[in-house]
Structure 1
């Protein structure tokens, strides 16, 4: 199982709204993530907007491509794009650059 961690930056003025949106993720989005092989997926948000994402999957590139192929993800990414800083026109999913793991205690 591949462990993936990534960072994004939520706009300071939209943090509360971002939290609220994730308190009610669409059921079809949750189903698509599971079907695409995203497991143990968590988002952690610091008060300054630093967002840390973590997930486990067999193959991150394949799991991300599976989500890219869904209509629900296209709608979700379009609605979420305005919450983030420094995307340079990319969808939030495209800005998810995995961090290098340097230590793991199993």
Structure 2
């Protein structure tokens, strides 16, 4: 499953936020991977709009694993002040975006439809 989310980084904290993400703590990297998230990317616009993307087999299970993992608490506490207020833990409370197009899915459907005899 592909998951995309958005958050808002405080405009006056953009460079600091980017610096932290240039070298995420190894324990946090391991916690993300152990929770089942992969192909994880963050994209930051100059006005602070942050778009995140990752893939996982079960997003609810990954969320629960990260919430329960003691390795994530310190990182999430450190990052919380960078975001415009959200209810709950920033990474966990970020609104999800609905996927409306995926090239490979449509190509596969198209090829499956044209390859039928």
TM-score range for the pair, normalised by the shorter chain length: over 0.9
Q: Which has the higher helix share?
A: 2
The gaps in structure 1 that reach 5 residues or longer are none
Match of 2:107 in 1: none
Question: Secondary structure, in 3 states, of the residue corresponding to 1:83?
Answer: coil
User: Larger C-alpha radius of gyration, 1 or 2?
Assistant: 2
Matched, 1:3 2:7: no
Match of 1:22 in 2: 21
Match of 1:45 in 2: 44
Match of 1:97 in 2: 95
Q: Distance in 1 between matches of 2:79 and 2:97?
A: 22
Q: Which runs of 4+ in 1 moved over 6 A?
A: none
CA offset at residue 87 of structure 1?
Answer: 1.3
Q: Which has the higher contact order (CA 8 A, sep 6+)?
A: 1
Q: Give the TM-score normalised by structure 1.
A: 0.94
Q: Distance in 2 between matches of 1:51 and 1:93?
A: 11
- Aligned residues between the structures: 104
